[in-house]
Amino acid sequence: MFMSYVYSFSFAALPISSLFPFLYFMVRDFNIAEKEEDISYYAGFVGSAYMIGRALTSVLWGVVADRYGRKPVILLGTSTVVIFNTLFGFSVNYWMAIITRFLLGFLNGLLGPVKAYACELFPDEYQALGLSAISTSWGIGLIVGPALGGYLAQPAEKFPSLVAPDSLFGRFPYLLPCLCISIFALFVTIGAIWLPETLHFHNTNELELAEEKTDEKKDSTIMSLFKNWPLMSSIIVYCVFSLHDMAYTEIFSLWAESPKSLGGLSYTTENVGTVLSITGVGLLLFQTALYPIAERIFVPIMVARISGVLSIPLLTTYPYIALLSGFMLSFTLNLASVVKNVLSISIITGTFILQNKAVDQHQRGAANGISMTLQSICKAIGPSCGGAL
């Protein structure tokens, strides 16, 4: 039951990157770019807006989660997805798209409390499994979101017999994927009403409460967390990887959809959605069948290290993949995408475990808030720089 909660909340990651398959076409339709090669430049800022908003408030939501509980922050985060992701689908110009994405990140402090929730929910011997479930389902959300965006965007062009050009989804061609994700987030929000609070599960007697209050006065300041080297070193690794991973997420879609004359693959949003759907299935199979075995043999941190090393040669193969065609292009691209995202999830799981074991329970919300702030800054840099490049 509790694992289903974790999976549901982690799938609220859907809106983070669901826009990337259709972002190129959305910015093109806004008519803000004077030349076709400038579309990626403007698209990068829309992709970064969410992370800039999240960077400004992640520490705040972490402190709120430590003081008032994980549940209120989770409820606010899922409700934010319902409202602002829908408004993003109604965007009629470039600046409306940027503002709605910014507010979506600004009011959404979901991931940090969910990570803390899993650590408090599972015993020590099962924490690796719990955090693996979060990182994998979050990662699948980051894959399934773009897949939905790829399949459901521009429905009047793809399904003319079902969607008329003058209908709601014809006039707002990017609303349908956003609305589907928002409806899912609404069901998650309703389910979260019955979510048990974990913040005080381990503090059942007055002596423990008194001792923790004394400890909090000494150790719960933000500055004490910055002096925690095991925590900060894991956050630094996470931030560097986040910049790379978010840049890859946007560049992949822009590269695949760009014309071959500009070095792209001339893929449609549907083609990109197919690649990402296959990747999502591969991630799910990896988490359920292979990761538990790898974690028992190598321990999560070693799995993360090995994955980081293997990612380097894999990423260097992408320029050569563009030289292929037909079946070999599809097969190689899907295989590379699955392997790349499997390695990414392994790295994320290892850093999650390091971060949550480096602090006590009453500091986890703030620690995850710091992590989310720094990570969001890096993820904001990733799309803007990636789009410009």
CB 145 within 8 A of CB 94: no
Tell me: the pLDDT tens digits for 53-109? 988 888 888 888 888 888 888 889 889 999 999 999 999 999 999 999 999 999 988
Of the pLDDT bands very low, low, confident and very high (cuts 50, 70, 90), residue 203 is: very low
Tell whether the model's pLDDT for residue 206 goes beyond 60.
no
CB 179 within 8 A of CB 15: no
pLDDT over 90 percentage in the chain? 19
Tell whether the model's pLDDT for residue 370 goes beyond 70.
yes
- pLDDT at position 183, please? 92
Q: Which two tokens mark 40?
A: 């990626």
Mean pLDDT, residues 328-351 taken together? 89
Which span out of 43-47, 260-264, 381-385 was modeled with the highest average pLDDT?
43-47
- pLDDT at position 204, please? 46
How many angstroms separate the Cα of 169 from the Cα of each of 18, 154, 156, 160, 163? 17, 8, 7, 11, 7
- pLDDT at position 182, please? 92
- Residue ranges and CATH numbers for the domains of the chain are 2-194+222-388 (1.20.1250.20)
pTM, full prediction: 0.74
- Identify the residue with better confidence: 270 or 288: 270
Tell whether the model's pLDDT for residue 213 goes beyond 80.
no
Burial class (CB in 10 A: 0-12, 13-18, 19+), 309: exposed
Which is nearest to 70 in space by CA: 116, 106, 30, 102? Answer: 116
Of the pLDDT bands very low, low, confident and very high (cuts 50, 70, 90), residue 205 is: very low
Tell whether the model's pLDDT for residue 22 goes beyond 80.
yes
User: What is the pLDDT of the chain when averaged over all its residues?
Assistant: 80
CB 37 within 8 A of CB 164: no
The H or E element containing residue 238 is: helix 229-257
Q: Which two tokens mark 78?
A: 């899922």
Residue 389 three-state SS: coil
Which is nearest to 131 in space by CA: 139, 373, 78? Answer: 139
Buried b (16+ CB within 10 A) or exposed e, 38-74: ebbbbbbbbbbbbbbbbbebbbebbbbbbeebbbbbb
- Identify the residue with better confidence: 141 or 201: 141
Tell whether the model's pLDDT for residue 280 goes beyond 90.
no
Tell me: the pLDDT tens digits for 112-126? 777 777 777 776 666
Tell whether the model's pLDDT for residue 373 goes beyond 90.
no
Mean pLDDT, residues 1-7 taken together? 56
- pLDDT at position 174, please? 94
Which is nearest to 253 in space by CA: 153, 167, 328? Answer: 153
- Identify the residue with better confidence: 354 or 93: 93
- pLDDT at position 388, please? 58
CA angle at 363 for the pair 362 and 365, rounded to the nearest 5°: 100
DSSP class per residue in 126-194: GHHHHHHHHHHHHHHHHHHHHHHHHHHSSHHHH-TTTS-TTSHHHHSTTHHHHHHHHHHHHHHHHHHTT
Which is nearest to 360 in space by CA: 116, 135, 67, 64? Answer: 116
- pLDDT at position 2, please? 55
Which is nearest to 88 in space by CA: 143, 32, 14, 147? Answer: 14
Q: Give the integer Cα–Cα distance in Å for 49 and 155.
A: 26
